[in-house]
Chain A
């Protein structure tokens, strides 16, 4: 019987000591905030469009860091962003959640048809990066180099004079495509060919 008591008390004392150590460590190594949020935010495209249902890229990054939100909610970021976040967090990349929008073919910018603009400043208030220049009853125009293509300005415009047009960089923006690789050993394997064609 005594040996039993000795054994139990030894274990209890041991666990108490260990508990104390861990408690001390918990206080000593307390972590404030979450620097991970900044790292995730750095990977997001910063269009601040709200398509992920968060008011900006930072809140979405916070939600991901907390684990509340999936990583596949960002259409402007597209597949590459999902992959990058998946690599950072060491999780599996998921396909883009179509509920929040689809990845656009090419980058877009907003263009205001100046003949129809009534100078109401609604689009200026809607733009998350202040890319629209103008004042009340003055002409409004989109600063093309700052526009992120989030299309938040389309809705507030009462006369619907804003268009989204794809950016065409022309010759300076042209660059090579990936070579389509069809390995000779892939006899009968059309996946590589199709993949290459899609790329």
Chain B
């Protein structure tokens, strides 16, 4: 039980995928202009990450290992992720067309989100079991969502603030992200996983 909690703490705070491991920066910068968009994106990514993490584990464990074709893990994980994202895209399109339209190109781009593939591959590296894989994926997603929402809220405020001309736009966004990353460094060593 403590293992599971430690996995969650590690993936959400200590080894946050966006700010510490620097994965998944594309949607982090691209979708954080408005808070509603960010929340939608977080929900979508959480769903995708958890499901993809689980499916990748299953494919690896019950297909690749028995057939001795572990070297095919990268391509099969990509396929799994693509299918999960496609499924999610269709589900979102049906349930909330506005969110679908608002997320736009970033929804299918979750496929290329290195955090998703990273989670899948890291599961293998860590030799995570079934439950651990799910939690690892879920924790990664929660960490991503947390940081994305924080960043979006800050960017909304920065948009109307008195930013010097040279720093307006992406420059101040990058600096803010860097400062957030620095802040999250404070968690280092909290949990050794």
Contact = CB atoms under 8 A, between A and B. Distances in A.
A21 B93 CA distance: 17
Q: Chain B's interface: helix, strand, loop or mixed, by majority?
A: helix
B174 interface: no
A12 to B, nearest CB: 11
A125 interface: no
A39 interface: yes
Contacts of B86: 22, 25
B112 to A, nearest CB: 17
Contacts of B79: 14-15, 18
B37 interface: yes
B5 interface: no
Contacts of B82: 18
A31 B86 CA distance: 14
A88 B102 contact: yes
Interface in A157-174: none
Given A6-B67, A185-B162, A90 B37 contact: yes
A11 B63 CA distance: 10
Contacts of B59: 14
24 contacts: A3-B68, A10-B64, A10-B67, A10-B69, A11-B75, A14-B59, A14-B76, A14-B79, A18-B82, A21-B83, A22-B83, A22-B87, A25-B86, A29-B90, A29-B91, A29-B93, A31-B94, A35-B97, A36-B98, A36-B101, A88-B98, A89-B102, A90-B103, A185-B162
